Amino acid sequence: MFGKKAQPPIKSLIAHGSRVEGNLRFTEGLRVDGEVVGDIRAMTEEPSMLVISEAAVVQGEIHADHVIVNGTVRGPVFANELLELQPKAHIEGDVSYRALEMHQGAVISGQLKPLAVGEEKPLLKLAANNQ
């Protein structure tokens, strides 16, 4: 379902050791390795991807089509398409998603809220631990 679409390129980076205070809007792709205190929102009708790396901390709402989390998020997450939770993901807030992929070790302290399209049930994929 999602593998057929080309992913938007990561064109922006908030580097490790950087701190951004205030709301942030981006187009296409954004990778956060540092800290953001404020909301992060994709601002176009084009497909969007947000990557929150293992060292990253975000305090605020997140809105994007494809969201990959391997760090800490304190606030609600809205993934219009796919939410990927990597093994070190820690979310303190509710998550809304169309499809969810969650690896062993990821933690959500909040409610899971699937985004329903008509009567279609959301896709839920559990990642196997292949170590």
Per-domain boundaries in the chain:
10-116
Is residue 1 predicted with pLDDT exceeding 50?
Answer: no
Print burial letters for 11-29: b (CB count within 10 Å at least 16), e (below 16): eeebeeeeeeeeebebebb
* Residue 18: closest CA among 3, 30, 1, 35: 35
pLDDT tens for each residue of 35-68 = 999 999 998 788 999 999 999 999 999 999 999 9
CA atoms within 13 Å, Cβ hemisphere of 90: 10
- Looking at residue 131, what DSSP letter applies? -
70 residue type, one letter: N
pLDDT greater than 70 at residue 131: no
For position 5, what pLDDT does the model report? 64
89: left (phi over 0), alpha (psi -120 to 50) or beta: beta
The pLDDT > 90 percentage for the chain reads 76
Angstrom distance (rounded) from CA 41 to CA 53:
17
C-beta separation of 48 from 7 below 8 A = no
